[in-house]
């Protein structure tokens, strides 16, 4: 598999409904989540993981929320990102996820924001079904 395809396999979902505490409901495009999404879209290059807006990741209490997922990898959900979180650092983390077997970034390599911000993780379907048999 080429390096490009490893990273293209990863999707970074960004909840565009997330609001910081006290933030106005409208206009929706100024919500923290929507702004973080725009920053990520603008920062990514063609070889980077795909960045996709989602209406709601159902976390709500820990804005802004994002997730990393890829075929055959653990899905990770992370919260507590401010709207002005460094998009480059998030994309670096997504590339690290893309290159880690099953998306499991070794603890020592894991950026601080991912250590503290983890909301949940779910194993890949394929390995879990094997595990069940």
Binding site for a second copy (CB under 8 A): 11, 13, 50-54, 56-59, 65, 67, 69-71, 75-77, 118-123, 125, 128-129, 131-132
| Cβ-based neighbours of 87, under 8 Å, separated by 6 or more | 36, 39, 40, 42, 43, 44
For the CB of residue 124, give the shortest distance to a second copy in the complex, in Å.
9
Query: Least distance to a second copy from the beta carbon of 58, Å?
Result: 4
Locate 81 and state its tokens. Answer: 């990102």
Measured from the CB atom, is 24 or 97 closer to a second copy?
A: 97
| Integer Rg of the chain from CA | 15
**Minimum CB–partner distance for residue 65 and a second copy (Å):** 7
**Nearer to a second copy (CB atom), residue 24 or residue 119:** 119
Least gap, CB of 60 to a second copy (angstroms): 9
At 126, give phi and psi (nearest 5°): -65, -50
Q: Which is nearer to a second copy, 77 or 85 (CB)?
A: 77
Closer residue to a second copy, CB minimum distance, 89 or 119: 119
* Cβ neighbours of residue 78 closer than 8 Å, sequence gap 6 or more: 65, 66, 67, 68, 113, 114, 117, 118, 119
Name the residue nearer to a second copy (CB basis): 88 or 128.
128
**What's the DSSP call for residue 121?**
E
CB of 70 to a second copy, least distance (A): 7
Whether 12 contacts 49, CB under 8 Å: yes
């Amino acid at each position: 598999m080429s390096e490009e395809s490893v990273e293209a396999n990863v999707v970074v979902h960004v909840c565009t409904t997330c609001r910081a505490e006290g933030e106005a409901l409208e206009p929706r495009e100024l919500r923290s989540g929507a702004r973080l999404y725009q920053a990520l879209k603008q920062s990514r290059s063609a070889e980077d993981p795909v960045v996709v807006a989602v209406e709601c990741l159902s976390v709500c209490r820990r804005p802004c929320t994002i997730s990393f997922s890829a075929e055959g990898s653990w899905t990770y959900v992370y919260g507590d990102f401010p709207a002005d979180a460094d998009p480059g650092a998030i994309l670096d983390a997504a590339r690290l996820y893309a290159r880690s077997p099953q998306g499991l970034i070794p603890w020592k390599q894991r950026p601080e924001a991912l250590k503290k911000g983890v909301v949940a993780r779910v194993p890949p379907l394929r390995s879990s079904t094997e595990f069940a048999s």
